[in-house]
Chains A and B, each alone.
With several copies, the nearest count.
Chain A
Amino acid sequence: MIEVTSAVIDAEKQKRALCNAGAGGYCSFEGWVRNENDGRLVNRLEYEAYEPLVIAEGKKVLAEALQRFPYLEARCVHRTGLLEIGDLAVWVGVASAHRDEAFKACRYIIDELKMRLPIWKKEHYADGDSGWVNCERCAAHDQR
């Protein structure tokens, strides 16, 4: 399940949706808006997403992770719009029988989502400037 929303992400509610009596391990990742990037002070971030392809590509990523690291449940939510320092921008949760698959699937999902989903981030700096962030990992991805 992958979702795009402009509302605050309720991480606890998302986690409850992963409940599974066979699950012994749960791993989650959250991307938080931080106050600094590449040495520049950041005041807030603006996220733009193209939802139809975020959903389509996100489903592929979840399916790939399931094949590599068989998990029981996984979900992902990405927020859009204007976010402040400390806000939750992306949430990924994975529940599995044992912890190894939970960690590995969660890591795979967030790594791929960041490289493949049509989502863009504009940083608004403390000095009044702003700029779109280019994906640090795209070059590495292209070379695979």
Chain B
Amino acid sequence: MSGSEKTILVRYFAMFREHAGVGEETLSLNAATAKDVFEQTRLRHGSKEPNGHCKVAINDEMADWSSPVEDGDTVLLFPPVAGG
């Protein structure tokens, strides 16, 4: 994990938004990857959802949990999808 604090805009959808109580928030995080962001927001909001069936996007591009996050990024946290 990178040692520097990064400013990340985190956006929550569906179940995650209800857990967080907000649609988005700007956080200062010590996070190197999308996974780090997910886990720190999970701690923050007391959510227990594992990331297994969830998806993540960075700056409107679908990403992997191992994708690096940069200062100023927007990270979108998607709970399990259920379209149709």
Interface residues of A (CB under 8 A from B): 31, 47-50, 52-53, 56-57, 78, 89-90, 99, 110, 113-122, 132-136, 138-139, 142
How many chain B residues touch A (CB < 8 A): the figure is 18
Closest 6 CB pairs of A and B: A119-B83, A120-B14, A138-B53, A133-B82, A31-B84, A134-B80
**Cα separation A116 to B54 with both chains bound (whole Å):** 11
Interface residues of B (CB under 8 A from A): 13-15, 18, 52-53, 55, 57, 60, 62, 76, 78-84
Known contacts A53-B62, A135-B53, A117 near B81 by CB under 8 Å? yes
Q: How far is the CB of A74 from chain B (nearest CB, A)?
A: 16
Closest to B80 in A: A134
Can you pick out 10 interface pairs between chain A and chain B where the beta carbons lie within 8 Å of each other?
Answer: A49-B83, A53-B57, A53-B76, A119-B83, A119-B84, A121-B82, A132-B79, A132-B82, A135-B53, A138-B80
Closest to A138 in B: B53
A78 adjacent to B82 (CB under 8 Å):
no
Known contacts A114-B84, A135-B80, A142 near B52 by CB under 8 Å? yes
Q: How far is the CB of A94 from chain B (nearest CB, A)?
A: 16
